[in-house]
Structure 1
Amino acid sequence: MHVPTRLTALRPTLRRVPPLAVLLTATAALYLWGLGSSGWANAYYSAAAQSGAESWRAFFFGSFDAAGSITVDKPPLGVWPMALSVRMLGLSSWSILLPQALMGVATVAIVHHGVRRATGSSPAALLAGATFALTPVAVLMFRFNNPDCLLVLLLAGAAVATLRALDSPRAVWWVTLAGSLVGLAFLTKMLQAFLVLPALALVYALFAVAPWRRRVLHLLVAVGATVVAGSWWVVVVELWPASSRPFIGGSQHNSALELVLGYNGVGRLTGAQTGAVSGPKGWGHNTPLRLFDPGSGGQASWLLPAALVLALAALWLSRGTVTRARPALVLWLTWTGVTWAVFSLMNGIFHDYYTVALAPAVASLIGIGAHVVWEHRAHAHATWAFGAAVLVTGLLALVVLWPQRGWIPWLPWLVGALVGAAVWRVLVAHRRAIPVGVGFAATALLAAYVGPAAYSVETASTPHTGAVPHAGPGGGSGPSYAEDPVGDLLTVSSSPPDLTRLLVRHADDFTWVAAVTGANSAAGFQLATDRPVMPVGGFNGTDPNPTLAHFRRLVADERIHWFVAGGGRYVPEDGGETQPVTRTGSNDAVRIERWVSRHFTPQVVDGVVVYDLTFVTTPLTPSQVPDR
């Protein structure tokens, strides 16, 4: 007689588990695995979250320090989830990084929903969700604390809301939601949020079932929602008395509107960003192939060529039909094209992790395009489309993996073999005039995903810190910087024990326990002491806050205890000597450090030069101590 075992009894239950639940659980495991190993990750935003958890005023403005000297150089929306998490759970790496990991799981669910609705296919939706979850830069960013996490979540939601509006009797509500989400995305990372607007507007104008006049009206409502949701914080800040709020970081005139139009606006495209800095090599080459070089290509571009091939083939094969897949393909293709063009050709600050904005589009195109082409696989054009998609994916994978062959030497050869096997099956199918089968599909999936999956596992298993994280092998600590407790332009300071004890001594008697040039240099000291530290000059050390006159007044009022020397430097990627950077904007930070060195006695604590600002060694003239 058969005796049921626990495993036998469990099988019917497992069969009832929705595939989406399995996908989301696996994604959560990948994004939460060893999450605390990255420490403060981007300490710049961790310090702002710490401050927001301590002060509602700092929370609202997105202030770097709880004392409210200066804001981060973005709107505060990306900091708010972290600050709330810290308020509830206490200050830790986990409490800061947990919201981003949950955002990643939510974005996978949104991508899955959008593809499922467009195709009616659960396998296609699962393929899209898995593609997004395994995109290396998505694994990187949703385990990190840059504002790109919330940006991608909001924009993916806006795209799916727009697609829902096309044939919904409540279209106006859906477009209002889409516009509001884009506006909130603007309050997360400003101008980058608007890269999706051409895609959303074009698809609604072309495919909505409403009459043309109503479509125009709906689009105007969506624009209004975007303006309201995206501008309210800017308006409040502009109307708020400047004397009772923090200086707006990233601006030169204490203006949120200037931040919108300049440093985080058109300046990103033209390179004319007052207040920005760059190393001797600037921000890399801006060409149409920027996203396909070995460094950038390993972030989000693994399946980008295949997504374009499959999407265009799907549009051709489904011509003359009315389906939900076609508007979805047009939306995600336009999203991909505009984002690709801007990222490739922009002259301003560009980092490889920005490409996480491509991940929802690429994943959706893969899911929808593969489904439509598979449905037409009896057509010769579908066979060739699958072959071309596999071939270009393999070529790009080899471009990315070959320079990294010392990491996993056999991986490029495995990818090459799988691609060769898949292409051979395509040729056989074409010669016999039969559609490609399940064997081809399995081989093609292995060929396409073994590379990004390996990169994703490597990314999840490696701690990432600093301002410029990078997915894949060797990207854990970003560039190799010289070791210095004060940090530099892009790496956080590390406060040694003796120095930390010195800084917190009599801390309650001062507004700021210390000041140091540059926000990354200030961040480590602030997180270590749990006391406000003033980042002189903001993130880059180029903001006019405080001015030299204002700093002298604060020193005279004994509101700053210590000054830490050596912050805000630039160290090249090869770890060599400090090099000068190209700086635009205020030079007050340089003047402040020179003034301090002339009038106060240096001390060396744990290898760090500090000045006690309450003990003047060179008498100050009346002109050096402004009237209060």
Structure 2
Amino acid sequence: MAVAETASVRRAVRGEGIVLGAILLLALVLWGWAPAGHTLQPYYVAAVHSMSQNVSTFFFGGFDPAGVVTVDKPPLAFWTQTVGVWAFGFHPWVIAGVQALEGAGTVLALNRVVRRWAGPYPALLAAALYALTPIVTAVGRDNLPDTLLVLLLVLGAYFLTRAIEETSTRWLVLAGVFAGLGFLTKMLVAWIVLPAFTVAYFVGAEESRGRRLAKIGLAGLVTLAVSLSWPVVVSVWPGAKPFVGSTTDGSVWQLVFGYNGLTRLFGGGEGISGAYGSAIGADLGGVPGPLRLVNAELGGQIAWLLPLALAALVVAAFRARGATRRVRAGWTLWGGWLLVGAAVFSFTGGIFHGYYTALLAPAIAALAAAGLTTAWRWHREGGRARFVLPVAVAGTALTAYVLLDRTPSWLPWLRYTVLALAALAVISALVREHRARVVAVIAGLAAIVAGPAAYAVETAARPITVLEAGDPTAGPAGTAVLGSVRTLVPAKDSSDIETAFLRFVDDATRLGPGQAQILDYARAQAPAARITMAVEGGSYGADPFLLHTDARVAPLGGYLGFDPAPTVMQLRQWVDSAQLRFVLLPQAYVDLGRRMKGAQPASGGAGDNGTAAIGQRIGWLMKSCVPVPPQRIGPDAAGSGVLFDCARR
């Protein structure tokens, strides 16, 4: 008997491994497959290229090899991508591969933590539901920090679960370490999970209240120490360092609490935060409110299983009295993660992107999987609780129908198919016979995953623009268009300017023949200059040079050009000390300059939303430097921007 049981266990474990392997393979295909090309956010790709060339640039998260400005996030996510570049050489596919592996790591980690809490079947289902979440596919195919952020926080949840099981200080401290590493990936948003971590350990650990509080306090101190380690070093660094991007004063604390902190939560803000918020709009995810996560902008990204997850959490709360401490802790962990995250994202009044909701996906997947498997167990046991499963399937299918009905021209048959599958599942579930139950399981799962899976496949198959790479969106609905140019040019009808700006952005991944000739000319004329050429136009102006060459090209103004880095005084100093001779004004900005007609403020400062920095630089350039005739540069230079020679003043 023992031998037979051992063999049965081995077969079950082997089968579980095969299913998990298939889920991981599916995830890697969704995130790595690129039939229409794999467009990444060029801003961060260029930064990784720069970081791979210089240790100082690597540590500070510098955007450019000349060390002018950093990216607008802490560097941990880009450190991992840079390590991949060091190992395999610089290519966007290397960065995409790192991202896909991090996403697969999240699938595996989620499976492990849910398995310890709820068992093997909920763990496999949670892994599959997470992999098929549409916004997870969109983010997994991009190079944003969110992929690593979610991995680190799910690993933190795993260590927390171990700490609860074993009443272990070591595991709890490790959970704090990984929450801190999440902060070094995307700052304050990583702390969304801390209330859930805290309450889950307090609810689940079997030790005295005083010991629980002491351990929670210790883990909190560790989280704080890890979180602040890099900002503190940057803040006290005594030597030369890049200007901290997306700030007005180069302070890393302004980046933490301003641009990446409170202004994202509450909106408003001046300086860079105000400029960036005006440029992209503070409501890309729709108007803040209790129904934001199910609105037209976000519903198709994250809301497919949200009602199911919330319903499972409510049912678990009513039945918590009979559960073990460990089971209650699991519901508390994932429920707290979801509720706090949903509240933050629903009511955030500042800069908000729909892809932020990928942070909710592990909690939704874990709760939905545990809820479905619990409902299935109740269905098999009989009694009144057996009706929970048909209701759960029907409710989830109705949610999918509503979301699919928002894009009626895309796969119009799918929403009716989902309803038909759900009806088949419900009818089969009410027939208490083995074959009918099998049909109920297959049809029910198909009804639940058909909608999000179709969105995920659509996301993996369609091409995206450079602009969309900065704001990834899943499914057929597309993404919001950034109206950055409207903050720069006061025009009643800016459609022509907007078209030119969008073309300029989409060209950011390509180095045209004219641009190459301009760079070659600058190199030949000023071979000893510390900075071969400076480029106006934010990251999109400098990206082609930083992506395709190792030249020391300096971007002016950071990401969107709003940063006061360098100032006009610094530009003068660079020119006077022969560190810089040439400045390129891209053609799109030449066109913008002609339309500005002196509309920019004369002096910089926080109150002008950062746009004065651009106007000051362009104004100085026009007055202090001389345009180089394009025929002197090369046959293709015309139309690739205007190169200014600042040595000929």
Task: Identify the TM-score tier after normalising by the shorter chain.
Answer: 0.7 to 0.9
Q: Is 2:637 the counterpart of 1:611? A: no
Aligned counterparts, 1:511-530, within 5 A:
511-530=531-550
Letter in 1 for 2:144: N
**Partner SS, residue 642 of structure 2:** strand
Report what 2:126 is aligned to.
128
Check 1:355–1:297 CA distance in 2 against 1; reply closer, same or farther (3 A cut). Answer: same
1:322 Cα deviation (Å)? 1.2
Quick check: 193-202 or 251-260, which moved more? 251-260
**Partner SS, residue 76 of structure 2:** coil
1:124 Cα deviation (Å)? 1.5
Report what 2:604 is aligned to.
none
Report what 2:200 is aligned to.
203
The partner residue of 2:321 within 316, 319, 328 is: 319
Alignment deviations for residues 43-92 of structure 1 (CA, whole Å, 9 cap, x no partner): 11101100111001100000000111000011111110111111221111
Distance 1:336 1:285 in 2: 20
Report what 2:312 is aligned to.
310
Check 1:215–1:460 CA distance in 2 against 1; reply closer, same or farther (3 A cut). Answer: same
Letter in 2 for 1:563: L
Q: Is 2:573 the counterpart of 1:553? A: yes
Check 1:218–1:281 CA distance in 2 against 1; reply closer, same or farther (3 A cut). Answer: closer
Report what 1:246 is aligned to.
242
Aligned counterparts, 1:186-265, within 5 A:
186-241=183-238, 244-265=240-261
Aligned counterparts, 1:142-181, within 5 A:
142-169=140-167, 171-181=168-178
**Partner SS, residue 52 of structure 2:** helix
Alignment deviations for residues 388-431 of structure 1 (CA, whole Å, 9 cap, x no partner): 433332233223222323221211221222233334456x46xx
User: Could you tell me whether the CA contact under 8 Å between 2:134 and 2:475 is conserved in 1?
Assistant: yes
Aligned counterparts, 1:539-578, within 5 A:
539-560=559-580, 561-565=582-586
Distance 1:506 1:565 in 2: 15
**Partner SS, residue 297 of structure 2:** helix
The partner residue of 2:620 within 595, 613, 624 is: 595
Letter in 2 for 1:181: F
**Partner SS, residue 193 of structure 2:** helix
Alignment deviations for residues 280-312 of structure 1 (CA, whole Å, 9 cap, x no partner): 854241111111123311112211111111232
Aligned counterparts, 1:243-392, within 5 A:
244-274=240-270, 275-276=272-273, 277=276, 278-279=278-279, 282-283=282-283, 284-317=286-319, 319-322=321-324, 324-377=326-379, 378=381, 382-392=385-395
Aligned counterparts, 1:79-158, within 5 A:
79-120=78-119, 122-158=120-156
Alignment deviations for residues 301-344 of structure 1 (CA, whole Å, 9 cap, x no partner): 21111111123224434531316332111111111111111111
The TM-score, its normalising length taken from structure 2, stands at: 0.84
Distance 1:221 1:179 in 2: 9
1:570 Cα deviation (Å)? 13
Check 1:485–1:302 CA distance in 2 against 1; reply closer, same or farther (3 A cut). Answer: closer
Distance 2:528 2:585 in 1: 18
Check 1:569–1:251 CA distance in 2 against 1; reply closer, same or farther (3 A cut). Answer: farther
User: Could you tell me whether the CA contact under 8 Å between 2:557 and 2:563 is conserved in 1?
Assistant: yes
Alignment deviations for residues 558-609 of structure 1 (CA, whole Å, 9 cap, x no partner): 43323224668999xxxxxxx99x9623622221012212342265635233
Letter in 1 for 2:453: A
1:245 Cα deviation (Å)? 0.4
**Partner SS, residue 583 of structure 2:** strand
Report what 2:491 is aligned to.
none
Distance 2:12 2:199 in 1: 46
Aligned positions, number? 592
Check 1:351–1:17 CA distance in 2 against 1; reply closer, same or farther (3 A cut). Answer: closer
Report what 2:517 is aligned to.
501
Cα RMSD for the two superposed structures? 3.2
Report what 1:7 is aligned to.
none
Distance 1:569 1:62 in 2: 30
The partner residue of 1:487 within 504, 508, 511 is: 504
More helix by share: 2
**Partner SS, residue 290 of structure 2:** coil
Letter in 2 for 1:271: G
1:35 Cα deviation (Å)? 8.3
Distance 2:400 2:128 in 1: 18
Alignment deviations for residues 251-272 of structure 1 (CA, whole Å, 9 cap, x no partner): 2111111211111111111113
Distance 2:281 2:145 in 1: 26
User: Could you tell me whether the CA contact under 8 Å between 1:311 and 1:368 is conserved in 2?
Assistant: no
Check 1:387–1:13 CA distance in 2 against 1; reply closer, same or farther (3 A cut). Answer: closer
**Partner SS, residue 562 of structure 1:** strand
The partner residue of 1:406 within 397, 404, 409 is: 409
Check 1:589–1:483 CA distance in 2 against 1; reply closer, same or farther (3 A cut). Answer: closer
**Partner SS, residue 21 of structure 2:** helix
Letter in 1 for 2:499: A
Distance 2:591 2:267 in 1: 19
1:14 Cα deviation (Å)? 8.6
Letter in 2 for 1:207: G
Distance 2:509 2:584 in 1: 14
Check 1:287–1:15 CA distance in 2 against 1; reply closer, same or farther (3 A cut). Answer: closer
**Partner SS, residue 174 of structure 1:** helix
Distance 1:15 1:388 in 2: 30
Structure 1 residue runs of 5 or longer lacking an equivalent are 1-10, 572-578, 620-628
User: Could you tell me whether the CA contact under 8 Å between 1:516 and 1:567 is conserved in 2?
Assistant: no
Structure 2 residue runs of 5 or longer lacking an equivalent are 1-10, 484-497, 593-598, 601-606, 631-636
